[in-house]
């Protein structure tokens, strides 16, 4: 089985289209999304429609959750908060219902999905240091959990090499055969934050237990122009060019 894992799409339609075109060439059986389908970006309706059309299986991110609810997310930064209000006004009733029904965790045959952490998915905590993943690694019933939220690609794992202790790697290809448990962030399709503006996504091949990270150029100018035309904060357009 070959999975494609899409992190934090953030309503970036151009990046999603480019990634789906690439995936069509890669002999993929199932496309997964670790949440934040929308928020920040300026094509929320089109992105939701395309995710549904392409049978992408998503879990709920903190932006999805905020947009689906009626509560003002005062804990968000001002740019995110503005984008939440704007996105809410764009969605149809059906799209908002679909968003509100996304699960926080999805258990699949070969892996588990959560947006932030597996042990407390509803808190949307950040995994910024390897030890932040300990709770998720302890909780994991299978071997592999895909997460998003930080928009920074990393593989955090416990294996023979680490003597069962938690270690991390930013290698683009990781052999997971000897791994006991892994939390994998495949980066972000729609708003990368590792100073590489190319869209990021992961491929997990269960036949050979190989995980690989892909980067893909897309038309950033087109998507940043859409953000400016929507009247969203300029920084949300600029950061796509910078990968921050």
Interface contacts to Zn ion, rule CB under 5 A: 8, 36
Nearest distance in Å: CB 178, Zn ion: 31
Q: From CA 159, how far away is CA 128, in angstroms rounded?
A: 20
Find out whether 242 and 197 touch, Cβ atoms under 8 Å: yes
> Does an H or E element contain 98, and which?
helix 93-100
Which residue, 63 or 214, is less far from Zn ion as judged by CB?
63
Nearest distance in Å: CB 137, Zn ion: 22
Nearest distance in Å: CB 193, Zn ion: 9
Nearest distance in Å: CB 115, Zn ion: 8
Which residue, 36 or 159, is less far from Zn ion as judged by CB?
36
Which residue, 181 or 183, is less far from Zn ion as judged by CB?
183
Nearest distance in Å: CB 161, Zn ion: 31
Which is nearest to 104 in space by CA: 155, 160, 58? 58
Q: How many CB atoms lie within 10 A of CB 5?
A: 28
Nearest distance in Å: CB 31, Zn ion: 18
Which residue, 36 or 223, is less far from Zn ion as judged by CB?
36
Per DSSP, what are the bridge partners of residue 184? 146, 155
Find out whether 189 and 15 touch, Cβ atoms under 8 Å: yes
Burial of 178 (0-12, 13-18, 19+ CB in 10 A): exposed
Which is nearest to 214 in space by CA: 19, 78, 44? 19
Q: Please identify the residue of the shown chain whose CB is closest to the bound Zn ion.
A: 36
> Does an H or E element contain 96, and which?
helix 93-100
Which residue, 36 or 106, is less far from Zn ion as judged by CB?
36
Which residue, 65 or 139, is less far from Zn ion as judged by CB?
65
CA dihedral sign of residues 147, 52, 29, 10: negative
């Amino acid at each position: 089985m070959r999975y494609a894992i899409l992190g934090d799409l953030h309503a970036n339609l151009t990046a999603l289209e480019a990634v789906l075109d690439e995936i069509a060439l890669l002999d993929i059986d199932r496309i997964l999304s670790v949440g934040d389908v929308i928020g920040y970006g300026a094509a929320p309706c089109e992105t939701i429609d395309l995710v549904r059309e392409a049978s992408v299986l998503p879990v709920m991110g903190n932006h999805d959750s905020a947009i689906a609810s009626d509560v003002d997310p005062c804990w968000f930064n001002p740019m995110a908060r503005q984008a939440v209000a704007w996105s809410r006004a764009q969605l149809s009733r059906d799209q908002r219902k679909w968003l509100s029904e996304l699960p926080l965790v999805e258990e699949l045959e070969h892996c588990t999905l959560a947006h932030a952490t597996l042990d407390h998915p509803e808190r949307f905590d950040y995994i910024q240091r390897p030890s932040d993943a300990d709770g998720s690694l302890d909780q994991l019933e299978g071997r592999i959990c895909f997460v998003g939220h930080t928009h920074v690609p990393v593989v955090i794992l416990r294996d023979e090499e680490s003597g069962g202790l938690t270690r991390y790697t930013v290698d683009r290809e990781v052999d997971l055969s000897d791994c006991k448990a892994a939390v994998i962030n495949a980066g972000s399709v729609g708003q990368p934050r590792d100073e590489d503006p190319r869209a990021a996504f992961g491929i997990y091949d269960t036949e050979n237990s190989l995980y690989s990270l892909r980067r893909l150029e897309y038309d950033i100018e087109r998507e940043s122009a859409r953000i400016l035309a929507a009247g969203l904060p300029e920084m949300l357009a600029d950061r796509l060019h910078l990968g921050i």
